[in-house]
């Protein structure tokens, strides 16, 4: 299985995205691109160092800050 297939099969589902610098986004995966792994999240929540900071209706997260994506 390829990482991209896992991402593709997570479309329209809730994912957790951990970024560098203690940031985490949880939201519904609405899209992605390849090979950058930029992601579109809908109804997202932003956590900084484990604390909830914002709710964001739609957000494009740049792939190169991502540590991991969990479907």
> Judged by CB, which is closer to a copy of itself: 36, or 52?
36
Element (H, E) at 59: strand 51-61
d(CA 16, CA 1): 20
Range 2-21, binding a copy of itself (CB under 8 A): 2-7, 19-21
Phi, psi of 25 (to 5 degrees): -125, 135
Number of residues that bind a copy of itself (CB under 8 A): 38
d(CA 43, CA 59): 8
Among 28, 38, 43, 45, interactor with a copy of itself by CB under 8 A: 38
Range 40-59, binding a copy of itself (CB under 8 A): 40, 56-59
> Judged by CB, which is closer to a copy of itself: 52, or 71?
71
């Amino acid at each position: 299985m390829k990482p991209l297939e896992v991402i593709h099969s997570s479309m329209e589902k809730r994912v957790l995205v951990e970024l560098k610098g203690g940031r985490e986004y949880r939201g519904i995966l609405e899209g992605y691109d390849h090979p950058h792994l930029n992601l579109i999240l809908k109804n997202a929540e932003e956590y900084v160092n484990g604390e909830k900071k914002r709710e964001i209706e739609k957000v494009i997260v740049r792939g190169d800050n991502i540590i991991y994506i969990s479907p």
